[in-house]
Chains A and B, each alone.
Chain A
Amino acid sequence: MKIGRRGFLSFVIGGAAGTALSPLPWKLTDDSSIWTQMWPWTPVPEDGEASYVNSVCTLCPGHCGITVRKIDNRAVKIEGMKGHPVNNGGMCLLGLSGLQLLYGPMRVKTPLKRTGKRGQGRWEKISWNDAVSEVVEKLRDIRSEGHPQTVGFISGSDRGTVSRLFERFLTAYGSPNFMRMPSVRDSYELTQYLMQGVQALPGFDFENTDFVLSFGSGLIEGWGSPVRMSRVHSAWQSAGVKVIQIEPRLSNTAAKSDKWIPINPGTEAALAMGLAHVIVKESLYDADFIENYVEGFFDWKNLVIDKYSPDTVASITGIDSRTIVVLARGFANASKPLAVCGRGNGTTPVSLDECMAVHALNALVGNINKKGGVWAVSEPDYINWPEIEMDAKAAAGMQHERLDGAGSKTYPFTRYLLPRLPETIDSGEKNPLQALFVSGANPLYTHPDTRAVRNVFDKIPFVVSFSSYMDETAQNADLILPNHIYLERYEDVPTPAGMIQPVIGLSKPVVEPQFDTRHVGDVIIQMAKGLGGSVAKTFPWDSYDSCLKETLGGRWNSLIEEGFWENNGAMPPFFGTSYETASGKFELINKDAGSIPQFKPVSIEGDEKDYPLLLIPYDSIRLASGFIGDPPFVMKTVEDSILKGKDVFVELNPKTARKQGLGEGQRVVLTTPKGKAEVRVHLFEGIMPGLVALPRGLGHTAGDEYLAGKGINFNALIGPVEDPDSGLDTAWGIRAKLEKA
């Protein structure tokens, strides 16, 4: 039988009819549509048992309590811990992105040893044993040559057991060179020491004040403990607390304040003296406090009346003299006024003049160690380790002067002067620093004059970084011994910056260490044991965890359960008798220090003729500018008026822009005496004419593609300026010029 065309066609039609009557096409359609939803590269997160682990975030000195939600053993969300005294459930955006740091590509996954030149990025993986042995060998060599004091340690903090272990190690080894990263705490520490005779932390009772006078402090830009400040700021809104913000630029803090007073940058100390002048002249000060508990008022008063009249101050600061008088009256007449200083997020020290002038204002209104005032907070004294028994080498080493010049004849009272280290290293022919350890800090990024710092760094023969991330400093180190990140380790967390109630937090491991990292505390103990002798004896613990448990003693159990221990109802040191100065009183003028409160303008670099504009930094809470850079989530929040593609925008007042012939978005070259960079212009009415503002936190050269290569590092354009009274770097800006690109 011939099939033929018709037969074939009818077969096909029959087949089609049958297919339509069978489930094949319908099922295939359903299946195909499901198939299109299932690209294998779209992850399907696995479900499991949800659990919560409490811990403390240590990405900034804010130390908020966190609770981390886990699904089985994956951490999926960081949330604020409700009921925690610092943040009560709130979280800042950096803390919220912690998981991107935990699981992200910036992590250093094993100990690394440099092959190739410094900064080339060529590393070989080595084992922990090899890494620690190499360090121990190097240290042993230095020690046997008789120069233990040539070993230095840069640490982000000097509080808590880990930092104290670093210091203990150096002391037993024979080096006084434990250095803490600079911040406004340096200024406050020195001020409180000189004026009150105590070594303490500055604490501010913002919760009970009714008038806040802020000299440029970015109260909601990340100053102090950021979440605590946000909370208390909201409370101020509801309670009608008056906030006066004094700074040359409209920061978020200034925008939300009751009054923003623009001031010529760098003249805050003059204003403080001017306000003091009015308060003294109109007798608005707390006479009782001044008479009974303050020394040197007479001399101080004459100085202030003589030199800082409102008109004089008006010409220095650019603020109307009437405004000064009204402000002084408002401040002094409030029932619990509080003055604070520390520009932006408080990571740059202020000059001693400025800090003392502001502190003096607080003394004038009698709010020292009182409710709503500034307190000298002592750390809860729980670190009670056995005395360090130094051997002869260590004792000899400790006799040497610190390499950063702190505690020297020039700067006898300042405790840490890291910015002066490059100078010392550069000075002689032989480098006085043979080995440097860095932990919890990123000086190659955060230190001013990055080019000079890099040059100096290259002169240090042996650099070890404990960083968990491949940051700028780690990139230029010889050995990286990666620490667990905060979510993977136990650590005690001391009182957050600016709090008045001492709080000890306990950071707990939320997940198992994800990579081959080791707790820096363990590494220090192993290094000590490796060195043997008296150094090993100073470290009687087997591991960091056992050291911590022992140190915390009876508090351990409640810390494990609650996550924090707070000294509820801690009273401030009594405002009457808590001064350990020579006179036993609060000293407005400190003769020992030879410092007389006054306004000496910080000599910023640059000639006005060559550099007609002033470059100042500004801080945004969305740009982390410390030892951690922005994780990808936080980078996403950076506005396109700050960063577009790889270009950063500088803020310029439209008047200034018009004078220079520059328009919005225009590409310009920003040049300072320290460097130059190509940036773009953003016209902003909220900045004083004649100023150029550049945000801090961008311009990373290390890190992943989400962070690196975007914008400019402010620190590359500015250099340190030494405060003659304290030695601290108090450069608040630098002269600059803008030219069309």
Chain B
Amino acid sequence: MKEGRTHKRFQKFGMVIDLDKCTGCGSCMVACMAENNVPFRKDESNKLLSITWMRVYQLTNGMPFPETDVCYLPRPCMQCAGQHEGHSPCVSVCPAIATDYSMESGIVSQIYTRCFGCRYCMASCPYHARYFNWWDPIWPDGMEKYLSPNVSPRMRGVVEKCSFCFHRYQLAKDRAFMEGRRELQEDEYQTACTQACPAGAITFGDLNNPKHAVSKMVEPDPKHSGRPKNPVAFRLLERLGTNPKVYYLSSRQWVRHAGDNYLENEKKVKKPVQHG
């Protein structure tokens, strides 16, 4: 926790997704699309081209009938902090400084007007959380009426990704300023996916704030790059060292194991080991 001249405590916005509760319904995907003016095309079945800032993946335990099991995993942008805070894979490679890491909030921003579409960040993101606008978005016949003025619609040739609904932070700060304060309460800034989830599987808040639900749920360990102390919590591709801010909870061991690439002889390992 760094203090500045203004004595502002740095926040670290993160998410905890309870995979036991997640039903795979996809509400988070659609809430995000509706909130962030995400474009859509006639054929969205090519998932390499389909822009879904939040995407729900289906995991399976690979067992034959009748021991088959499936689990759904919603994946927003992980807002990686990297090994040294601020060195997210995507931020480190952007030649245009279109993507940036904010120490004050921990969120990786994407500024569309600077991006010139080299897609280097897409190559570096291990979570495939970044999407490219190959075409200009088309909103048929009157549908552009539902576009929100709080999020800039993108033109073709730029990369976009989940921003943890940062525009809601901006609007919440506006309200706070009116009331003469600068600090936001936990429930004043919540992402669209958190709000919409019918199962209440997503929790969002400040990982640096011990009072917020997210830090209570996973107990991030500051000495080990935020690795969760809670044994049923895990992060995706923990061992890559991206230090993501999205944690997952699952009581099923096979699900926790699906969160990283393990070699055959590592399958028995219960807790992921951090290398490098």
Contact = CB atoms under 8 A, between A and B. Distances in A.
Interface in A668-704: 684-689, 704
A43 B149 CA distance: 10
Interface in B15-71: 18, 20-21, 23-27, 29-31, 33-35, 37, 40, 42-47, 50, 52, 56, 58, 60, 62-66, 68-71
A217 B201 CA distance: 22
A231 B198 CA distance: 6
Interface string A53-95: 0000000000000000001001111111000000101111100
Given A97-B30, A220-B25, 15 more contacts: A39-B155, A43-B144, A45-B144, A79-B196, A90-B200, A91-B198, A103-B146, A220-B199, A231-B200, A237-B20, A250-B69, A637-B56, A640-B45, A684-B68, A685-B64
B145 A74 contact: yes
A686 B65 contact: yes
Interface string A400-425: 00000000000000000000000000
26 contacts: A39-B155, A43-B144, A43-B147, A45-B147, A45-B148, A71-B149, A75-B145, A77-B146, A90-B197, A91-B196, A96-B34, A96-B196, A97-B34, A220-B199, A230-B25, A237-B21, A252-B70, A632-B44, A636-B33, A637-B30, A645-B45, A654-B64, A685-B60, A685-B63, A685-B68, A686-B70
A221 to B, nearest CB: 9
B71 A255 contact: yes
Interface of B: 18, 20-21, 23-27, 29-31, 33-35, 37, 40, 42-47, 50, 52, 56, 58, 60, 62-66, 68-72, 113, 136-137, 139-149, 153-155, 192, 195-201
A644 B45 contact: yes
Contacts of B46: 640, 644
Q: Please classify the interface of chain B as helix (H, G, I), strand (E, B), loop, or mixed, using the class held by over half of its residues.
A: loop
A424 B44 CA distance: 42
Interface string A31-57: 000000101011111111000000000
A633 B33 contact: yes
Contacts of B58: 639, 641
Contacts of A655: 65
Contacts, number: 191
Contacts of B30: 93, 96-97, 633-634, 636-637
A392 B174 CA distance: 68
Contacts of B50: 636
Contact of B199 (A44, A90, A100, A653): A90
Contacts of B37: 45
Nearest to A226: B198
Contacts of A78: 34
Nearest to A78: B34
Given A42-B136, A99-B146, A226-B198, A37 B66 contact: no
A171 to B, nearest CB: 39
A80 B195 CA distance: 8
A76 B21 contact: no
A639 to B, nearest CB: 7
Given A42-B154, A45-B148, A637-B26, A688 B139 contact: no
A705 B44 CA distance: 12
Contacts of B146: 74-77, 99-100, 102-103
A116 interface: no
Contacts of A97: 30, 34
A625 B207 CA distance: 41
A706 B40 contact: yes
Interface in A506-557: 514
A665 to B, nearest CB: 13
A-B pairs, 7 with minimum CB distance: A90-B198, A230-B198, A45-B147, A637-B26, A93-B30, A47-B149, A99-B146
Interface of A: 37, 39, 41-48, 71, 74-80, 87, 89-93, 96-97, 99-100, 102-105, 220, 226-227, 230-231, 233-234, 237, 250, 252, 255-256, 260, 262, 514, 621-622, 632-641, 643-645, 653-655, 684-689, 704-706
A634 B201 CA distance: 20
A563 B98 CA distance: 44
A654 B37 CA distance: 41
A37 B40 contact: no
Contacts of A227: 198
Contact of B42 (A45, A75, A87, A706): A706
B25 A92 contact: yes
A34 to B, nearest CB: 9
Nearest to B201: A234
Contacts of B192: 77
Nearest to B27: A93
Contacts of A639: 58
A77 B34 contact: yes
B238 to A, nearest CB: 24
A530 B23 CA distance: 51
Contacts of A250: 68-70
Contacts of A635: 40, 44
A48 B21 contact: no
B203 to A, nearest CB: 12
Contact of A100 (B24, B43, B143, B198): B143
Given A92-B198, A621-B26, A37 B153 contact: no
Nearest to A73: B145
Contacts of A689: 65
Nearest to A104: B143
A298 B18 CA distance: 48
B245 to A, nearest CB: 23
Given A87-B198, A262-B66, A77 B148 contact: yes
A255 B70 contact: yes
B25 A93 contact: yes
A64 to B, nearest CB: 9
A700 B187 CA distance: 41
Nearest to A647: B45
Contacts of B47: 640
Contacts of B63: 685
A403 B58 CA distance: 47
A37 B65 contact: no
Nearest to B33: A633
A44 B153 contact: yes
B21 A234 contact: yes
A46 B144 CA distance: 10
Nearest to A251: B70
Contacts of A43: 139, 144, 147, 153
A220 B23 contact: yes
B199 A704 contact: no
Given A104-B143, A230-B199, A636-B52, A686 B68 contact: yes
Given A45-B147, A262-B66, A686-B70, A622 B199 contact: no
A43 B140 CA distance: 12
A87 B113 CA distance: 39
B158 to A, nearest CB: 10
Contacts of A100: 143, 146
B216 to A, nearest CB: 15
A255 B19 CA distance: 12
A45 B149 contact: yes
A105 B27 CA distance: 23
Given A80-B196, A99-B34, A635-B44, A42 B153 contact: yes
A378 B141 CA distance: 44
A89 B136 contact: no
A638 B149 CA distance: 28
Contacts of A633: 29-30, 33-34, 40
A301 to B, nearest CB: 32
A634 B29 CA distance: 9
A133 B66 CA distance: 61
A641 B58 CA distance: 10
Nearest to B142: A103
B180 to A, nearest CB: 21
A704 B195 contact: no
Contacts of B35: 77
Contacts of A91: 27, 31, 196, 198
